[in-house]
Amino acid sequence: MKNILINRLREIQNKEGYVSEESLKKLSLELKIPISQLYGVATFYSMIYTKKQGKYVIELCASPSCFLNGSWNLEDYLKKELKIDIGETTKNKKFSLKKTSCIGCCDKPPAMLLNGKVYTSLTEKKLKDILKKCK
Ligand code: FES
């Protein structure tokens, strides 16, 4: 049942960009599952968004291999550059910044996802170039 639920949440997110409270209410009626339970599942998984996101969603890996290889430095850089904190979206709705657990690129840390695309062996210089290309 959990797989079906996660798939449904992802379908909604793919269609609407995030899973709104309204969508959770509809899904609750459709699946006959209390909305509190749906909300619990939606907020447990970092790749399900319950808030509207920016055009570009940056998910910086914070798991051990990346953390020990400087993701915490890159986190500071991104916060400063974008003028937002983790979990926030820039005022112009261009970037959202998140932390994620391991994305399977531990051999090339630090790593991140940008709208689902993987970037590895990150440095401040590389991040600067990536941000510049986001229009
Ligand atoms: S620890 Fe960052 S990708 Fe695995």
106 lines ligand 1 (CB under 6 A): yes
> Is residue 67 situated within a structural domain?
yes
> Is residue 50 situated within a structural domain?
no
- Domain tally, the chain: 2
Distance in Å, CA 24 to ligand 1 centroid: 31
Distance in Å, CA 102 to ligand 1 centroid: 4
Q: What is the pLDDT of residues 49-88, one digit of tens each?
A: 999 999 999 999 999 999 999 999 999 999 999 999 999 9
Exposure class string for 12-43: b at 16+ Cβ within 10 A, else e: bbeeeebbbeebbeebbeeeeeeeeebeebbe
Pick the atom of ligand 1 nearest to 108's CA. Answer: 3
19 lines ligand 1 (CB under 6 A): no
Q: Which residues form the domain of 68?
A: 56-133
- The answer to whether the beta carbons of residues 76 and 41 sit under 8 Å apart is no
**Model pTM score:** 0.86
Q: What is the pLDDT of residues 56-67, one digit of tens each?
A: 999 999 999 999
**Pair (39, 78) in one structural domain:** no
